[in-house]
Amino acid sequence: MLLPGGLYEHGERVRRFAFEPPTGAIELATMTYQNEPMPRRITYVLCEALAHVGEQPPEFERVHTLSVGDRQFLVRRLAIHLGQDGGWHTVTCGHCQAEFDLFIEPSALPVKEAGDGYPFAELTIDVRRFRLHVPTGADQELVASIADPDEALRALVQSCLVEPAELAAAELSAADWQRIEGAMEEVSPEVVTQVESRCPECNGANSVEVDPYACLHGDGGGLLAEVHTLAMSYHWSEGQILELPRPRRQRYLALVDRSRGMTN
């Protein structure tokens, strides 16, 4: 499979990646590292889940410096790989407050590929030239703790700046900072994070958020219950059970269910 952006290594754009088999161990990884800042947590999870990225081992630096769009794409593809595609969302209509259910299938959502010039964005503001790389996980981590959105945007731009080497906050207006952000967004790969839907009651248009990192919000209860069932039945260790690819684990669980039905 190909990343919508990709890495530049030795002057070449590399986009291929593959995941490891979908074991319980990888599922468990999506629920750990809860105390880490989100960008770092995403990197740790992807490092465990990827077999390779750009034909190279998924080392921390390589994964941490993937563009934000690539990382969102990867986490969404990981959820699909782990059998978590498609889910119901309860939406409260912003017009008439009616609640309705909406089925969203992440694998069917469009992906925007990186634009010309990737991974760099260039623009000129008042004859001054700016060159930036598109934001990566590492840039996101640097600004993760800044609460004020304007300050966070300035810090993000400064972190991505290639030319000029330095830029003070007072040198540009708020609108200029936003223009720079817009230029970076134009070049960045993107996954869809909002789906438009009409309310069945009043036909009003609603925009529904689809979190690309949804699979990182599980509590592991379902997985641990499955490990418990198999450990009780077969006396395998936790590690052995977690090494089973998900489809095989499901087959054994079905067999346990069947033999319970026979004994009852």
CA distance from start to end of the chain: 46
Measured from the CB atom, the residue of 86 and 204 that comes closer to Zn ion is: 204
Positions that interact with Zn ion (CB under 5 A): 93, 95-96, 98, 199, 201-202, 204
Q: Which is nearer to Zn ion, 92 or 107 (CB)?
A: 92
Pick between residue 92 and residue 259 the one whose CB is nearest to Zn ion. Answer: 92
Residue 238: burial class (beta carbons within 10 Å; 0-12, 13-18, 19+): middle
CB of 93 to Zn ion, least distance (A): 3
Query: Which is nearer to Zn ion, 203 or 259 (by Cβ)?
Result: 203
Nearest to 1 by CA among 107, 136, 90, 155: 107
Nearer to Zn ion, 94 or 222 (CB): 94
CB 91, min distance to Zn ion, A = 9
Q: Which is nearer to Zn ion, 163 or 201 (CB)?
A: 201
Q: How far is the CB of 102 from Zn ion (least distance, A)?
A: 12
Query: Minimal distance in Å, beta carbon 106 to Zn ion?
Result: 25
Please state the closest distance from residue 199 (CB atom) to Zn ion, in A: 3
| Cβ 256 vs Cβ 264: under 8 Å | no
In the complex, least distance from residue 108 CB atom to Zn ion, rounded to whole angstroms: 24
